[in-house]
Structure 1
Amino acid sequence: MKDLLHPSLLQINYLMTLEKIEKKRGCVGTVADICGVSHGPVSRFFKECVNYGYLTEQYTFTEAGIRALRMYERILQSTQSYLTRLGVSEGSRQESLRQLIENVDYELLLSITRSDTQVKKDTTISQESSTPNFLEKVLEKGNYEVGIALHQVNRTGGGPRLSMAHQGFEHIAVIRNNNRGSWLELTICPVHGISRIDGKDMTGWLSSLKYENHGQLCEVDLRANKVRIPLSACRFTRSSHGNIKGMIMITVTCTAGKAHMPESTALLTFWM
């Protein structure tokens, strides 16, 4: 999957449209018309696909191209279902889909969005394994400080960047592992920003946080400026050195006075 071309959501739509139309002269213009774009972007992308071995010079699909298209369709379906389960509003869903498809590694995206995805045991611990039984092998009972980061999932052009939501939490969290359960505890902080309307300083607070746990949408109960997320809802990867990284996609909203900041999705990562 690492060798898979990583096109934009619109470019994936070009390929899906190309497969549906009759292969004849003028197909680039037809695809452009259906997708509501000009001829140039479609032509340039199809030429890239020719160079990548996905299309022939006549813009018919090769075997590699068909395999790639099926993978794109699988990723799209999985991500769309995930956003629906997560409760992302219909008005925000298409933009969230674009952000995830275009900016998150495909393997990570499938791991996050499909709880039943099976991955290599030597690199990833499945969601089913992130249970108290798993933690007994990794952690003793107790409390552990961990660093956290929340990254944007929209294109930045220079690698991952911190999300605005990153300001909303203390950057040291606590993993609590005891007889009552195991969870990641975050401490809420005020979010500072500049109003786009009048340029004044604004201070906001987290007003909601949602995540998915085994197919069920969960909204965190905000109490005493603390947020608790069960570790069973997280995905884990383990490096060759034995370090473990946890991650979970969250959707948050903030309130600044009477203003409500729009819902946003971020990738929460923590290190054990």
Structure 2
Amino acid sequence: MSKHDVRSGFHELTRQDTACCMKEQAEEWLSHCVEDDEFSSSASLHSIDLGKRIATNVYIGCLDMYAAFAIFLYYLCTFETFVVFFNTVVATTAYYYVNDMNASPYIFNYNLSWTLVTFAIISPIIMQTQQAYNRRESALLLIAECKALMVNFYMAHRQWIKPEKQALVPPALINRSKLIVRGIMYELCEMLSLPTITRGRHRFTSHGINESMAQQEKELLLRTRIAVGLRHLHGQVRELKCHGLTEGEASRLYQYLWMINSRVLSLVNIKMYRTPQATRSFTKVFVHILPFF
């Protein structure tokens, strides 16, 4: 079977269930998918319009360049960036003119060791960047595992019970599990999207401490909601056992809940415990000081 035949058959097989989940948008989306497949299959038989392809590549390249400059200006042009740039320009210019005004051209000469630069700036920045990417990859993996476990937990309500007993499961029980599962994921997303409160200002300034306290109250509320939601999921397993779920399957669901809880706590730790403040402050101080040497 060709790729087009496989996808068309899969769309027909899942059309009804997908339409129930996505309402009216599913039918339109699926029809577009089939049309796109037919168009791509027929288009592959024709020659490629070289001029149109070049124009498209130029247009996309311009968009990528614009996006790169926009991201650079939005995320990298901060107050600290301008302070470091100002210190560098002022220090270099001042030393140049001061040396011209003095008889000895070496009055401000300083033999700066590159070992110091490597130890004070380059190595900490490399370490912090590597840790940031490691945290990102770990967090993405944990989020994907949480979603997979939640989906499997929900599917247990619809597929794990024997067919002759599945009809006896109240629809309200299934809908309640779906509501709890989605609610936990939404609350987790909300908590992970909160601003960070692990900067130095959150420990040594009154404004930062107040900001941290307000943030901690909201975070505690979200974590409490997630914990209560997990407790309700345990109750859902108990209800399923009354409607035909076997002990082995219930044990597996309890294991899923433990794994979900473990991954939620791991995500919270990644969110809260970031780059050590001593290393961050050490690098920041030397970035501001070294231009004058």
Superposition TM-score tier, normalisation by shorter sequence: under 0.3
> Under a length normalisation based on structure 1, what TM-score does the superposition of the two structures give?
0.23
> Under a length normalisation based on structure 2, what TM-score does the superposition of the two structures give?
0.22
* More helix by percentage: 2
Larger radius of gyration between Structure 1 and Structure 2 = 2
